[in-house]
Chains A and B, each alone.
Chain A
Amino acid sequence: MNVPAKRILVVTAEIVLLVLVLLLIIGPMMSLFIWSVAHRWYWPNTLPQEVGFEYWKQALGMRTSLAIGAISIIPAFLLSLTIAVVVVIISMLIAIPAGYALAKYRIPFGAVIMFLFLMPNAFPQQPIFVNLLRVFTRWGLSGTVQGVVLVHILVGMVFGVWITSATFRSIPNYLEEAARSVGATRLYTFFHITLPLAAPGLLASSVFVFITSLDEFTGTFFIGLPFVSTLPMTLYSSSGYNMQFASVIAIILLIPSILFMTLIQRVLRAEYVGGMG
């Protein structure tokens, strides 16, 4: 096969792939978009009989009518956002050194320690959080923002440590050793050689911690009630029951996560070729 023909074939295949991925990703999301503006939708119509932005207005606090059982989500939204930012900062501050140590040193029981971080994900959350609630109540942390922040760090830690550790592990030692051999200190090497190289992995790690916190429900539910109310809790309450309201919340929840990711990507891209894109 001559080169131009092969090129065309490859490009066609790429376009087909793009269209397929587009359909597969946007397809299920269509129900989200449609429900968020549906006022009346039942069989046999393929599309809603009546559309409008009532639920959006309710959610954004512009209207308060009870007929449709929705409330303003702005306070919960802002709270979720703030908690997520705090959680990312604290988590990464603890996780990056831990990830580095686990990658570069032979720690006794290193495997057990790695597994320790995986445990909150491995064991179903409900029974554990019931116990945690008792502990937190005794410590006066239940129903507080601090308590919720701690829970979010707990469930996000696995993404913090595992991904950073894998990232650091992929950076060959000789690069650091080369820098050290010309007189650089440990700290300098870390900040100027290791960290930049590890940036894409660390970015992935912090994005997941952010999203995990923003979307976290079970732990927040148990520990946060009654005084702390985050957006996922409102979402969960209405999910399935009030499809329209739930869809509006879901779409609103997308925004900060996507913003966070593009923001950090832009910062990185400016300095490093290739970034995470």
Chain B
Amino acid sequence: MSRKKSFLVPFMVLALIGLLVMAGQGDSEAAPIRLVYMTAGDVNMLALGQNVLGPAFSKKYPGVSLMTVHTGPGDAGSRLIFEKLSAEADSKKATWDIDVAMVHQIFLKWAEGKDLLLPYAKELSTWKYVTSPFAKNSLGVPAEGYVMPMFHSQTALAYNPDYVKDPPKTYAELVEWVKKNPHKFGYNGIKGGMSGVAFTVGWVYWKTGKYNQYAMTGPFDKAEIATWEQAYKDLGEFNKFVTITAGNVGTLDALNRGEIWMGPVWVDMFFTFMNEGKLDPKTRMILPEPGMPGQPMYFVIFKKAAHAKEAKKFVEFVTSPEIQAKEIVTRFNWYPGIDGSHLKGAIPAETFNKIYKDVTPADLSKKGQSLPLAQYFAAMLESYEKWIK
């Protein structure tokens, strides 16, 4: 018994010390200003924030340190940020814990009308570099002034050139291709990842031909949904010849293991996987006609952020042409959030050729689509569940 007691005592002392240490840590942030930056996206965003942006920003603005917090990939990550934000708003705190966040487009839909965001963008010196319509409109929600795009991502079909000698250039050709090569095309349906969602949306755009109405002008007309039935039935037929994967990563993994030869991927994930040695360097991409959706990721600053001034400086910093060229494009091989013409000369030719080899700037401007307006988006997702069993 004494041995047992003598084991418990050091254990409890350890725990007590631990508690004191942790409590002490909380108070030591007195002197420098700590900017809290919450980002959705994959772990590269965390590493970017912690290892690159943080130190570089602190060098430029001594006295401010950046704390990067990561909420996970996909819309789920953005949703968590929103939950946190709305809990803080409800609690009527004077200042909020989070200052600046990087989120997906859907965030704007959730925040619409709730007075949670600061209209900061037009005050930045880098606002003049932003020309794309994405900066003004997010899935139909007016966002001008509330967002600055950090980078842009696009979906495309990745394929293994050893097995796919003549990749399909249009959705129609793809349908023929899967019939001749059953189960060699993979995507994740609409659950588990946005690459599959983007593919499905692109399918609906193709079949209905109503891209403009669904993504650009509106209005939302409930009657449109019934007209999609045949399109989805066709998709159900298409599904019989494909492999359904678990998500964005599932598709890339399956490509990596040679289980499928083609599948929709996010271009930024494509390059990240390749840089990390998880994808064969000879894998190629193609953007089929009439196009596939893409989306930017936005910086937003919260209304009652504790350090709004520093937050604005931070966004300005990351959207400056130098950082965009050096980190976003060259290091990560992502498409820039600001207009690409401002980066000419700052990007090495090698990088330029690499990222624009398969999906050229001309391709992007012609075939890079937006995701649909929020209500159409929700309807398209639910229709998949309704008509494809």
* B-binding residues in A (CB < 8 A): 38-44, 49-50, 64-71, 79, 81-82, 85-86, 89, 130, 133-134, 137-138, 142-145, 191-192, 196, 221-222, 225-227, 229, 233-234, 236-238, 240-245, 267, 270-271
Known: A142-B87, A234-B43. 17 other contacts (CB 8 A): A38-B277, A41-B278, A43-B257, A49-B277, A66-B48, A85-B14, A89-B15, A134-B90, A134-B91, A142-B97, A145-B22, A222-B80, A225-B84, A226-B97, A227-B97, A238-B42, A244-B276
| Contact partners of A40 in chain B: CB under 8 A | 277-278
Q: A85-B15, A226-B98 are in contact. Are A236 and B7 (CB under 8 A)?
A: no
| Contact partners of A65 in chain B: CB under 8 A | 51
| Contact partners of B88 in chain A: CB under 8 A | 137
| Contact partners of A66 in chain B: CB under 8 A | 47-48, 51-52, 331
Contact B256 A226 (CB under 8 A): no
| Min CB–CB distance A15 → chain B (angstroms) | 34
Say whether chain B's binding surface is mostly helix, strand, loop, or mixed: helix
Contact B51 A237 (CB under 8 A): no
- When the two chains form the complex, which single residue of A50, A86, A133, A241 contacts B83, counting CB atoms closer than 8 Å? A133
Nearest to A87 among chain B residues (CB) is B15
Distance A277 CA – B107 CA, assembled complex (angstroms): 52
Q: Say if the beta carbon of B119 comes within 8 Å of chain A.
A: no
| Min CB–CB distance A141 → chain B (angstroms) | 11
Distance A238 CA – B3 CA, assembled complex (angstroms): 42
| Contact partners of B18 in chain A: CB under 8 A | 81-82, 85-86
Distance A229 CA – B43 CA, assembled complex (angstroms): 14
Contact B3 A270 (CB under 8 A): yes
- When the two chains form the complex, which single residue of A44, A143, A237 contacts B73, counting CB atoms closer than 8 Å? A237
Contact A237 B69 (CB under 8 A): no
Contact B22 A68 (CB under 8 A): no
Q: A66-B52, A241-B42, A242-B276 are in contact. Are A133 and B87 (CB under 8 A)?
A: yes
| Contact partners of B21 in chain A: CB under 8 A | 82
Distance A44 CA – B255 CA, assembled complex (angstroms): 11
Q: List 13 A-B contacts (CB under 8 A).
A: A42-B257, A49-B277, A69-B44, A69-B47, A71-B51, A82-B21, A85-B15, A145-B22, A221-B80, A226-B36, A237-B42, A238-B43, A241-B43
* A-binding residues in B (CB < 8 A): 1, 3-4, 7, 11-12, 14-15, 18-19, 21-23, 26, 36, 38, 42-44, 46-48, 50-52, 67, 69-73, 80, 83-84, 87-88, 90-91, 93, 97-98, 247, 249, 256-258, 269, 272, 275-280, 331
- When the two chains form the complex, which single residue of A89, A191, A267 contacts B3, counting CB atoms closer than 8 Å? A267
| Min CB–CB distance A206 → chain B (angstroms) | 11
Distance A236 CA – B280 CA, assembled complex (angstroms): 25
- When the two chains form the complex, which single residue of A44, A70, A82, A191 contacts B47, counting CB atoms closer than 8 Å? A70
Q: A85-B15, A138-B91 are in contact. Are A241 and B258 (CB under 8 A)?
A: no
| Min CB–CB distance A221 → chain B (angstroms) | 7
Distance A82 CA – B257 CA, assembled complex (angstroms): 40
Say whether chain A's binding surface is mostly helix, strand, loop, or mixed: helix
| Contact partners of B38 in chain A: CB under 8 A | 225-226
Distance A44 CA – B162 CA, assembled complex (angstroms): 12
Q: A42-B278, A86-B15, A89-B15 are in contact. Are A226 and B249 (CB under 8 A)?
A: no
| Min CB–CB distance B10 → chain A (angstroms) | 11
Q: A71-B50, A225-B80 are in contact. Are A192 and B42 (CB under 8 A)?
A: no
Nearest to A132 among chain B residues (CB) is B87
Contact A137 B42 (CB under 8 A): no
Distance A228 CA – B256 CA, assembled complex (angstroms): 35
Q: Which of B21, B48, B87 has the most CB of A within 10 A?
A: B87
| Min CB–CB distance A247 → chain B (angstroms) | 12
Distance A145 CA – B21 CA, assembled complex (angstroms): 11
| Min CB–CB distance B23 → chain A (angstroms) | 8
| Contact partners of A221 in chain B: CB under 8 A | 71-72, 80
Q: Which 6 pairs show the lowest CB-CB distances between chains A and B?
A: A40-B277, A82-B18, A43-B258, A238-B43, A226-B69, A241-B42
Contact B87 A79 (CB under 8 A): no
| Min CB–CB distance B43 → chain A (angstroms) | 4
- When the two chains form the complex, which single residue of A38, A42, A79, A267 contacts B22, counting CB atoms closer than 8 Å? A79
| Min CB–CB distance A173 → chain B (angstroms) | 22
Distance A221 CA – B43 CA, assembled complex (angstroms): 15
| Contact partners of B71 in chain A: CB under 8 A | 221, 225, 237
Distance A44 CA – B259 CA, assembled complex (angstroms): 10
| Contact partners of B280 in chain A: CB under 8 A | 42-43
Distance A196 CA – B4 CA, assembled complex (angstroms): 10
| Contact partners of A86 in chain B: CB under 8 A | 15, 18-19
| Min CB–CB distance A183 → chain B (angstroms) | 19
| Contact partners of A244 in chain B: CB under 8 A | 276
| Min CB–CB distance A228 → chain B (angstroms) | 9
Distance A49 CA – B278 CA, assembled complex (angstroms): 10
Distance A204 CA – B313 CA, assembled complex (angstroms): 53
| Contact partners of B15 in chain A: CB under 8 A | 82, 85-86, 89
Q: A69-B43, A138-B91, A241-B249 are in contact. Are A50 and B277 (CB under 8 A)?
A: yes
- When the two chains form the complex, which single residue of A38, A39, A130, A237 contacts B46, counting CB atoms closer than 8 Å? A237
Q: A44-B258, A86-B19, A226-B38 are in contact. Are A236 and B91 (CB under 8 A)?
A: no
Nearest to A240 among chain B residues (CB) is B249
Nearest to A245 among chain B residues (CB) is B43
Q: Which of A130, A142, A237 has the most CB of B within 10 A?
A: A237
Q: Which of B47, B70, B275, B280 has the most CB of A within 10 A?
A: B47
| Min CB–CB distance A27 → chain B (angstroms) | 17
| Min CB–CB distance A249 → chain B (angstroms) | 10
| Min CB–CB distance B86 → chain A (angstroms) | 8
Q: A66-B48, A240-B249, A241-B43 are in contact. Are A134 and B87 (CB under 8 A)?
A: yes
| Contact partners of B51 in chain A: CB under 8 A | 64-66, 71
Distance A49 CA – B277 CA, assembled complex (angstroms): 9
Nearest to B277 among chain A residues (CB) is A40
| Contact partners of A137 in chain B: CB under 8 A | 87-88, 90-91, 93
